[in-house]
Amino acid sequence: MAEEQIVEGVVEEALPNTLFRVMLQSDEQVLAYLAGKMRLHRIKVLVGDRVQVQLDPYGGRARIVRRL
- Taking only the tens of pLDDT, the chain with its 68 residues reads 556 799 999 999 999 998 999 999 989 999 999 999 999 999 999 999 999 999 998 877 999 999 99
| Residue-number span of the structural domain to which 59 is assigned | 6-67
Amino acid 57: pLDDT: 85
Amino acid 20: pLDDT: 97
Amino acid 2: pLDDT: 59
DSSP H or E stretch at residue 25: none
Classify residue 19: in a domain, yes or no.
yes
Interacting residues of 16 by C-beta distance below 8 A, sequence separation 6+: none
Classify residue 1: in a domain, yes or no.
no
Q: How far apart are CA 40 and CA 5, in angstroms?
A: 23
Classify residue 24: in a domain, yes or no.
yes
Classify residue 58: in a domain, yes or no.
yes
Classify residue 12: in a domain, yes or no.
yes
Which DSSP letter does residue 36 get?
A: H
Residues across the chain: 68
Classify residue 62: in a domain, yes or no.
yes
CATH number at residue 23: 2.40.50.140
Amino acid 59: pLDDT: 77
Report the domain count for the chain.
1
